[in-house]
Structures are given as structure tokens and as C-alpha cells.
Structure 1
Amino acid sequence: MYKPTLDYAQQLDKEDKLAHLRAQFHIPKDKEGNDWLYFTGNSLGLQPKQTQQYIQQELDDWAKYGVEGHFEARNPWMPYHEFLTNSMAKIVGAKPLEVVVMNTLTTNLHLLMVSFYQPTKTKYKIVIESDAFPSDRYAVQSQLKFHGSDAEDGLIEWKPREGEELLRIEDLEKIVDEQGDEIALLLIGGVNYYTGQYLDIKRIAEIGHAKNCIVGIDLAHGAGNISPELHESGVDFAAWCTYKYLNSGPGSLAGLFVHEKHAHNKDLPRFAGWWNHNKETRFNMRQPFDVMPGAEGWQLSNPPILSMAAIRASLDMFEEVGMEALRAKSEKLTGYFEYLINQIDTASIKIITPSNPKERGCQLSIQVKNADKSLHKKLTENNIITDWREPDVIRCAPVPMYNSFEDVYRMVETLKTLL
């Protein structure tokens, strides 16, 4: 049973086998040199201290070798993306063949929809969560328009029930059962950005595939946070960013997954560039297009190495620790956070994230009654960095790699005072 005391929080930190990781990150500080209480790894992860070294290596090799760095650098740039594949595949539960790091999230979703959203006159609709991240909504609406459909008519929203905040899987099942003959694609966020709800990805795939719908997952808030087991889930494709829980830096490259069952289908429509052409003959230049198998077959251009170096710095930390240990700490850390918030005697706030640790990542979404953003502003003034989302939610993500139990305790003590 948890205890609402500083001594107890500090004891949990002493027992934490991952506590040493905090010292490997740059923690922002206030004017007096005190660490911020940073709870926005769900928007931008903190910088690992080794990132600078990884990027500097590539800057040094660029200075030393120029173009020859593609082959002569300590980490040759030509195959650099391959250095990331195995670690990234472990994080999302995929085979190396199924994963590649490339582009940015919404760009990848569009490239994947080029291949997997193939509407007909009768089967053309797309299902998303009603509170999907805006970029996903804009992407699917533009795809509907591009294919000649009405964006409103072609979009089906999976909504919470009246008076509820969370989605029910049986409601999605009903939608697909009743309208599946008209649905071409389900594009669902694996972890909802607003509520923090972790959805049953495997069940979503089963529901969609039962009606011959393609199933895609946006893992922007899932990669490095939960264990989605993408291969086992059977989803057709997925995409995610790396700058949140994967700590790769603002706007860094994204990840892409295409299930093995599609790996060798050269007839899938796709946009082409020289980086998804057969790597053995890529530099012969005057060859007819020969697409590579697997996720690499969706690349277009040679990637930005400096961004990949930052991703590699982070992935090496994940490789050392493993998702199982991170998830175990995450569940305990978030459980303690939830316990402390529930100890506050107030009707002004409530947690809308699922209470079951298996149905959430490390984010807790705190709904504020009669919200006007003032509570969030007061937290910021007290050097507690959280994230406000309209109309009335403060998102807080204690990240197991660098947040401590004492962070959580001090945050809630301040929250109590402000309330």
C-alpha cells in the first residue's frame, strides 16, 4: 500500500533499479539551479547526455571525410538507418524486416495510406477515434478528398458514450459490424493523446480484418511508452514519432512498421524514390525500379544522419534497459501518482485516464472543473512543466527513464497547495 509522505517516495527511489538513468539526462533547471519537475515527455522527451557525443562523431567524420563519410565514417552513413532497426523493432515488438526509421510521422502515415488505403465506390470509409490527434484527422480527411470522397461522409468516428471520456472496444466492434462493408481503413491511435487510454491493438486488428478492412495504428504516444507487440497484433501498418518517449530531439525522424505479410508484395501501390530501390543496384543509376522487401521499401530519400545519430543515442539506452523493466517502473510510478492525486480532497479535478495500469501508459490526464487554464499556468510558474490540452485537461507524464517518485510527490504537494 502506498503512503503519502516524502520519506516513502524517497524510499521508493532508493529501491528503484532504474534510478541511475536520471543522471544520464539533462534536467532543465530554474533560475536558482533547481531541477524542474518535468512531466512532458509525452510532448518532448529530455535530452540524453550522450546525444551530443553521438552527433559530434558524425560532425567530426563529415569534417574529416566529406562525401567519403558515406563509406569511411566510423558509422558509415550509407547503411546508417540499419544501425537503428534491431533496437527499434524490439521497442515496438516487431521483426527487423518490418521496421524502418524515416521521415516524420504524418508523412509516413500518408505514404502508408498510398499503399493501404485503396477505396472503391462502395468500400471507402475511414474510422478514427473521435478525439484523434488533429494531424491524423487532417491526414485522413485529405486522403478522402484526394480519392474523390466527401471528407464528412467518408469519416466515421469511434466515440465515447454519453457522459464518458474513454472508448469502449465493443462500440468499435458494433461500428465495424454494421458498416464494415463500407469501411476500407481503421486508423486508430494506440494510446490516445488526450486521455492516455491504451487501446487493445490486437483486438482492433481482429475487428477490422473480420470485415476485410485494413488496420493502421498511430503510435505517437505509444512507442517507448507501452509494449504494442505490433507483429503479434497483426495490424497492417503503424507509424510513430521518436521525439516523445524515445528522446530523440525536437522534430526528429519517425518510425514505420509494415507487417511481414505485406513484405514481399511488390504490387502494392507506393510512391518511389531511390532509397526504396534495391540497395545492391541503387548506384547503377539507370536501372528500372526494383523495390526492396519489407519496411525499407517505403523509404524515399537518403536520411538526415544527425537526426539518426540522436535517435541512436537514445535507442542504445533502451537496448541496455529493455521495455519490460521500463514498463514495470512506469506502472508503479503512475500508480503512485494516481494514489496521491486521489488523496486530494477536492471536486475540482479528476483523472480521466484508465485506472487499470494495463490500459494506460505513463500519462495521467487530469480534467479540471470549470477550466480556464489558470491551474496549468500556476504549475508552470512553480517550475512544474505539464501540458495543457483544450478544453480542460492537464496531461502529466512521469517518464520511467528520468522521473522519480520524489518528482511525483513534490508535484502533487504543489498541486494540493494551488487547489
Structure 2
Amino acid sequence: MQFQNTLAFARELDQQDELKKYRSEFHFPKVNNKDVIYFTGNSLGLQPKRAQKYVDDIMKDWKDLAVEGHFYAEKPWWDYHERFAKPLSKIVGAKPEEVTVMNTLTVNLHFLMVSFYRPEGNRFKIICEEKAFPSDQYMLASQVKFHGYDPKEALVEIKKREGESFWRTEDILKIIEETGDELALVMMGGVNYYNGQVFDMETITKAAKKQGAHVGWDLAHGAGNAELKLHDWGVDFAAWCSYKYMNSGPGNVSGIFVHEQYLNRNDFPRFEGWWGHHKERRFLMEPEFVPQPNAEAWHVSNAAVIAMAPYLASLEIFEEVGMEKLIQKRNLITSYLEFVLHEIDKEVDSTFEIITPSNPKERASQLSVLLHGEGRALFDYLMESGVITDWREPNVIRLAPVPLYTSYEDMYHFGQILKKGILNKKK
């Protein structure tokens, strides 16, 4: 497609957009009495309008039924979490029994590490990407120390090449092979939070499994954003938050994936609690744990249904749309944003360096832009002008056009506001 940096062209793209009606399904903050241009769905997704009813339903059941809501609510609380398995399995490429929701992201990663980081003898090392999201760094280092190892020896960080902005798959594969039988686990972010790069999860998983290692993925920026086939790729485990691209609300519940080969097993190590006990026997209060035959065996506590309600509302939208259409729009709108950025770059005689891969297969709904010669003042100008974006030191802004609620006209107007902000500074 031959793009044009004009309002008329952007509006034409919006007219052709199959998903345009879903924009009205979300609440937008306002600046100067106008809806903002919202670029931070990679940090916190907008609130779906239908989320309020889902929460209100539970509050009403709690008011009217009290404890009996566990069994007699319209959506009974005791099995509320089961409603997530089918829609989430489509989003992450899994079987329904391999998926559940519980806790929050880093909590779930710790729980899953109990099962899948089992260092023994010479096999104790973990491969991760350099400068992973800090929570992952803290989590991995603490797990290594818990097992009595020095993080400096046990954690193998894959670096980018000097002068390059993203990782090369061949470098990752080389380090996996070199680590060999010392490798216990590969645990990486499927989509890097800083530069938006989508790793070749299938190839990396295959290479690590060849070395006899377990493989887990932090999909905080991947679930609901990138194409995933966790079951077919042979991934051992994964976890993701729900409040970014899946719009469940701040700090909300996390999803997990555990491959079917580890399900319905009494001999598999994990931390256990009563909500992971076999559903039909749960209220018999038996002393011996009998695991649920699915990923719910990793549950330890009953479902936080008030927190889960907005997530279920958002997943209803995902069910209506489907990941195929989301990814189609994601690719087009991100490419259009990239085009607009390059056009503005020419007009203002500045230098924008996009540090996200240009290949659509290696990126998702994010462009990270290094603004040479620009500082925090430009970010502040964008925010004051109704462009909600994300600033990362020293001078990177992250732009995440979310297919469900971002328009092509947003991309055009952002370009004009960006140009004005830069030119005003030069006067």
C-alpha cells in the first residue's frame, strides 16, 4: 500500500477498518475536552465500557447472596476462573486445559519457577535477555540465590551487538548451544518491553529443548498483541499480565500456560493450595492434595472474582474480533505510524531512530523511537497536547497503537503535534 501523510488518507483507512466500531467500546481520558491520542496500551489498556457491568454484577450478587454467590450467582464464583480457559487458549495458542488465570504476573513466574527451575549438578544456568524488564531480573536473581547459586555465574544475559538496537536470533542460538548441558532454563520476555522486538520464540524454544533445558516466556507484552502458538512450539510454561493489551485494569490478574505433558500429575513439583485441589473433592477438606487435571493445579487460593470481572469483559471483545483480524490491523497501523514518523522526520530536519525492528514479523503494536537531540521537554509537550505516550531515559518514547481502539487519524494527528513540538523548540 502506498501511504500518504494526509488527514484524508488517514480517514480513508479508518473507513476501511473492520474494527473501527470497537473504538466506541472504550473510555478515553480527555485533555482540553478532547479524547486523547492514547499510545500506552503497552502499559495500561483503556477501560472497556462493558467492564462496569461485569463488576456491578458481582457486587450485586455479593449484596444479595453473600456467601451463596459462590454457587448461586449468575456466574458462580467458585468456577468463575474457568470461563477464561477457552478464550485465552485462542489468544496464546494453547489447549483450554493448559491455561488458567490467578495471582499477578511476577507471583506466577515465581510459582512456575518452582516447577521448572530445578538446578542439579552442572545444570544450573538460566539464559535471559540483557536488560529484561526489572521485575524479571529481580525474580530470576532471587530464584538463583534461593537455590544457593551466584547470579553472576548462573544468569547468562544475551547482549545486543555493539551499535545495534535489537537482538539477533543467531546470537541467541549460539549462546544456547555454548551453554549446553549447563543450561537449566531459558526464561525471556517474548516481546521486549523497551524496544518492542518480538523474539523468534519457536526457534529459541526448539534450540533450548535440544539442550535438555526447560523454556518459559514472560508474555506481558505478547499476550493479546503477538501471534502465539505455545502448545505447538513445545513451550513448557508462560505467564502474562492482563492489564496491557488485554485491558483488564491496573495491576490485575495474570494468566498462565503449562504444557499438557505436565498436567494431571501427582509427581510434578509445584507449590500447592486448596483451589488447585480436585474440584469435585475440594469441599471435602481432605488432608491429601489431589491436583486438578489441568493448569488449575497451580492455583493456591480461590478466585479473586471482582478483579477478574473486567478481564472477562475484555476477553468477550477478543472473542468477537479474533486474533487474526487484530494482527492484520496491528501490522497496518504500526506500519502507517512508522511512515508518518519518517515523513515528519524529513519535514523538521531532525533525526528519529526507530529502535524497533522494521520487519512486521519481528515487532507487534509498538514503535520505540530514539529522539536524537530532543529531551524530556518534547515528551511533556506531547502530554500537554493530549498525546499520552511513554518516556524512557535518556530520550526514547514508546508508541503503542492498539488495534481495538486506536485510529489511523490518531496517527496523522500525532505526527502533526510532534512536528509542531519540535519546530516550536527550534524558534
Shorter-chain TM band:
over 0.9
Equivalence for 1:330: 330
Alpha-carbon distance in 1 for matches of 2:118, 2:294? 19
Which piece of structure 1 moves more, 261-270 or 91-100? Answer: 261-270
Seq. identity, % = 52
Q: Per-residue deviation at 1:371?
A: 5.2
SS at match of 2:279: coil
Alpha-carbon distance in 2 for matches of 1:263, 1:145? 28
Alpha-carbon distance in 2 for matches of 1:377, 1:350? 19
Paired amino acid for 1:355: S
Q: How does 1:20-419 map to 2 (within 5 A)?
A: 20-31=21-32, 33-343=33-343, 344-345=345-346, 346-370=349-373, 372-419=375-422
Q: Count residues with an aligned counterpart.
A: 418
SS at match of 1:127: strand
Equivalence for 1:7: 8
Q: Per-residue deviation at 1:293?
A: 2.2
Q: Per-residue deviation at 1:260?
A: 1.1
- Deviation readout 1:9-65 (Å, 9 max, x if unpaired): 01110111100000110011113x211111000000000100001110111111110
- Deviation readout 1:87-133 (Å, 9 max, x if unpaired): 11111111001000110000000000000000013110111100211
Q: Which 5+ residue runs of structure 1 have no aligned equivalent?
A: none
Q: Per-residue deviation at 1:180?
A: 1.8
Which piece of structure 1 moves more, 286-295 or 315-324? Answer: 286-295
- Deviation readout 1:307-364 (Å, 9 max, x if unpaired): 1111110000000010100100110000100011111223432111111111111100
Relative to its length, the structure with more helix (as a share) is 2
Q: Per-residue deviation at 1:370?
A: 4.4
SS at match of 1:264: coil
SS at match of 1:118: coil
Paired amino acid for 1:20: K
SS at match of 1:280: helix
Q: Which 5+ residue runs of structure 2 have no aligned equivalent?
A: 423-427
1:237–1:259 CA contact under 8 A, matched in 2: yes
1:281–1:287 CA contact under 8 A, matched in 2: no
1:39–1:386 CA contact under 8 A, matched in 2: yes
Q: Stretches of 4+ moved more than 4 A in 1?
A: none
- Deviation readout 1:236-268 (Å, 9 max, x if unpaired): 000000000000000110000001121133212
2:209–2:215 CA contact under 8 A, matched in 1: yes
Equivalence for 1:16: 17
Q: Per-residue deviation at 1:415?
A: 0.9
2:194–2:368 CA contact under 8 A, matched in 1: yes
1:371–1:391 CA contact under 8 A, matched in 2: no
TM-score (norm 2): 0.96
